[in-house]
Each structure stands twice: as structure tokens, then as C-alpha cells.
Amino acid sequence: MDTNLIKKLREQTNRGVLECKKALALNHNDYDKALAYLNETYEAPKTNDRVASKGLCHVVIKDDEAILFEVNAETDFVAKNEDFLKLVNDLGERLIDSDVSNAKSALKLDIFETNIESHIKKVSATIQEKVNLRRFYRVLKASNQTFGTYFHGGGRVVTLVILNQQNEKLARDLALQIAATSPIYLDLSYIDIDTMNYEKFMFEKKHGQFDEKAFHQYLESITLYTQPFIYEDDKTVEAILYEHHVQIIDFFRFELGQGIEDKLNCRLDIPCDGSKITVTPIY
């Protein structure tokens, strides 16, 4: 039996020597068939009852496209694991070059002679933690527009903002603002009546009574345009945009584990189980 084929299979699948030898024997030393056999017979660690809320969020930009995604594992330690970091980088490179727009479709993409779903399972087996691609979002812009991104805490929070014209410095400053202040809405005028009623309900539930002035101040604090600009707090973000003759087209903020752990304070747009979690803002 060709030892080079055994070595190659081990490197590709992280399976043991005996398993690789068996796969080759059953498939008459045909490497491709042996690899397919190992992928088909792979058994993931029994981690269904374990919560994966740690890991990394990531943003990748290529020309006029950007992707945001979150890969979860079970412990903070794994965010520094070489295999996990390589997985995140490999996923970023593969996803940005694809045309898929959601995590379910992304799992079926080919990568390293298998698909992303199977590859994640292999990494999960290697690091002995539950690993999953929790969410994935693709953003497009026009050639005359600007992306701004910011990473906080090594990937605990990532943000993306799109401006309607070229201004890279302002775009980056606004991306930092979004990371630091966690806005939910872009403009107060974008909040529909159902969302407004929900915000009022949650505000009253938290404070015990409804105060119109305090509620309005709260809304301003979670709305990007009405927040004080992080570098000139005597001006609002809206005023800064007016000075630069720029408008924000959209913004996105991914926070690691968003909606998974804080089950007592879930928002309607951030389900606790993470199954239908969306980017913020919702407008």
C-alpha cells in the first residue's frame, strides 16, 4: 500500500492511519474514492447539546463586494487556535469569491476537495469543540461608494458601513462609531410603527413606567444619525455627514454570540436560538 497516499489522506481528513488504510483497501488504492469514502463515513463529535457562542466574527472586502460572517466554537481559547483561525481565513477567501448570500447555501460550497459543511466538521473533530458557521451576509456597493470597516477585540465585534461617495477616513471613523456605540437604527424616520411600539413596550418594561422625554433620549442613543459623533461629541453624526456632503447608505454590526447567551433580554430581531438571527439594524 502506498504510504504517500496514506499520508495525504491523513493530512486532508485528520483521520487515523488505520482508517486511511482501510479506506484505500476498500477502494483499491484509488485516492479520490478513498477520500470520498472517508468524507461519507465521517462521524462528528457528539456536541449537539453543547452551546457554541464563542469564536470570531469577520469581514472581507473585495472590490465592490463585502461579506460579514460569524464562526462559533465553545470556548474563548479556540479563537487563538491555529486550526480555528485558519478555518475562518479559509472561509473568508472562499465565500468572498462565491455568489452565495446566506449561511445555508454557503455550507454547500466546495472547499479543499469537500464542501464547507464537511470541512467545518473536520476542524470540529480536530479541536474537539462544536464549530459552526452561524451567519453570513453579503453586501454590494457601487464603484463610486465607500466601504468602511472596523474590528474590535480581535473579531468580537465587526462593523461595515457604506457611504454614497468616496471618503475612506470618514467611513472608517463611522465604522468605529458603530462598533463602540451599538446603534440599531440609521435614522428615527426609518422606524415603523410596529417597531416603535415594540421599543415603547420594552422601555416601559425595563423602567416600570413610560416617560416620553426619557424614551426619546433612549431612541436617539440607539439611532446612528442622532448619536454624538465619537470624535466631536458636540456634533451629531448627522451634522458631520452634512458637513462632508455624504450620506450613509447602510450599516451592519456583528457581535460575537449576539442573541445566544443573553436569553432574558432578547430582542425580537435577535432570536435567542440564533436560528433566524439577522444583521442589525432592522429598517
User: How would you list the strands of the sheet with 248-255, edge to edge?
Assistant: 146-152, 157-163, 248-255
Do 46-140 and 157-283 agree at the fold level? yes
- The pLDDT tens digits of the residues spanning 179-206 come to 999 999 999 998 999 999 999 999 998 8
> Does the pLDDT value for residue 263 go beyond 80?
no
Position 148 scores a pLDDT of 98
Q: What is the CATH number of domain 46-140?
A: 3.30.479.20
Contact 69, 120 (CB under 8 A): no
Instruction: Give me 271's grid cell.
Output: 432570536
Contact 162, 81 (CB under 8 A): no
Residues 6 or more apart whose CB falls under 8 angstroms from that of 232 comprise 240
Position 49 scores a pLDDT of 57
Q: What is the mean pLDDT of residues 98-114?
A: 92
Distance between CA atoms of residues 90 and 112, nearest Å: 10
pTM for the whole thing?
Answer: 0.76
Phi and psi at 101, nearest 5°, equal -130, 5
Q: Domain locations in the chain?
A: 3-40, 46-140, 157-283
> Does the pLDDT value for residue 272 go beyond 90?
no
Distance between CA atoms of residues 235 and 10, nearest Å: 59
Q: What is the band of 78 on the pLDDT scale with cuts at 50, 70, 90?
A: confident
> Does the pLDDT value for residue 267 go beyond 60?
no
Instruction: Give me 67's grid cell.
Output: 461579506
- Strand pairing of 110-111 and 114-115? antiparallel
Mean pLDDT of the chain, nearest integer: 86
Nearest to 150 by CA among 254, 266, 80: 254
Q: Would you identify the CATH topology of the domain 157-283?
A: Tetrahydropterin Synthase; Chain A (3.30.479)
